[in-house]
Amino acid sequence: MTSSQQRQPYLSDLSDARWALIEPTLTAWRAERQKTSLNLGGKVTDLREVMNAILFLNRTGVPWRYLPHDFPPHTTVFGYFSAWTADGTIEKLGLHLHRMVREQAGRTAEPTACVIDAQSVKTATSVPTDTQGTDAGKKIVGRKRSIVVDTLGLLLLVMVTAASVSDNAAGIQLLTRVAADHPTISKAWVDTGYKKKAIEHGASLGIDVDVVPRNEQVKGFSVIPRRWVVE
């Protein structure tokens, strides 16, 4: 019986089916770590409970020290989270699940096209001023989040910068990372915030960057129609 079966469940807990999807990756991670560490016979931490604790923190937003006592100690959970983040395990899990969702939707495991966009948002007064900036076009003081998604809307990349960083500059960085992380991508759709330099940079990477103009007859926000073909 696992630790999660010995306590009252939380809504954020992994189901057996979801745990089965990620368990092989985490078990392999532990086996690899044990090859380079001394096994002194200490208590073995339940990896499923570690992941349940991380999901609880993610869903509720509580500080690490407020983690309920029926989970492993918050210092232990943070240690695993830090290790999984540093060595790419969290990213590996995300990519594995991403491929599964695409295949279930009848697509190839790896995307061949993507959409890039950005949004400037106001930040709290507690945010360090040296990490903020002013989006001159939108008159927003804060940060900018730039994302890349596939044509199913599944997240591929995210980057946070000061709001003063132009879409074009951020787009160039994202295209470089897309080409490295997802070499099958050969098409990217962007809005008019992405200029000639981003388009030329995409071309140098083998990615055709297509600027989709907004409808000038519509004031304010408007949805840009989907013009791409199914991958």
What is the predicted pLDDT for the residue at 183?
Answer: 95
- Domain locations along the chain: 3-92, 109-211
What is the predicted pLDDT for the residue at 140?
Answer: 85
What is the predicted pLDDT for the residue at 230?
Answer: 45
Instruction: Answer whether 161's CB lies under 8 Å from 167's CB.
Output: no
Ranges of the chain with pLDDT below 70? 1-5, 37-42, 215-231
Looking at the chain, the number of H-run helices and the number of E-run strands are 6, 6
Strands (E), 36-182: 113-122, 133-135, 140-149, 155-162
Please check whether the domain covering 109-211 is classified as CATH 3.30.420.10. yes
